[in-house]
Amino acid sequence: MKFLLVCAALCLINSLCMADAQKEIDLNIKSDTLKGQTSDVKFTFIGHASLMIENNGKVYHIDPWSKMGDYSKLPKADVILVTHEHFDHYDKDLIKQLLKDNTKMITTSTVATDFGKRGNRAILANGESVTFDGVKVEAVPAYNIQHLRDGSNPFHPKGRGNGYILTIDGLRIYIAGDTENVPELKEIKDIDVAFLPLNLPYTMDNAMFEDLAKSIKAKYLYPYHTMGMDQKTIESVNVPDSIVRIRKFENE
Compute how many other C-beta atoms are within 10 angstroms of the C-beta atom of residue 58: 16
Q: What pLDDT score was predicted for residue 74?
A: 97
> Which pLDDT score, from 0 to 100, does residue 237 have?
95
What gap in Å lies between CA 127 and CA 176, rounded to an integer? 14
Order of strands across the sheet that contains 40-47: 31-35, 40-47, 50-55, 58-62, 79-81, 104-107, 121-123
DSSP structure string for 166-177: EEETTEEEEE--
pLDDT at 20: 46
Domains of the chain: 28-246 (3.60.15.10)
**Predicted confidence pLDDT, tens digits, the chain (252 residues):** 544 444 444 444 344 444 444 899 999 999 999 999 999 999 999 999 999 999 999 999 999 999 999 999 999 999 999 999 898 999 999 999 999 989 999 999 888 766 655 557 889 999 999 998 999 999 999 998 987 787 778 888 998 999 999 999 999 999 999 999 999 999 999 999 999 999 988 999 999 999 999 999 999 999 999 988 999 999 999 999 999 999 988 764
pLDDT score at 3: 43
d(CA 119, CA 124): 15
DSSP string, 40-86: EEEEEEEETTEEEEEETTEEEEES--GGGS-GGGSPPPSEEE---SS
Question: What pLDDT is stored for residue 149 in this prediction?
Answer: 80
Query: Quick check: 55 and 192 in contact, CB under 8 A?
Result: no
CA distance 63 to 95: 9
Model pLDDT, residue 117: 56
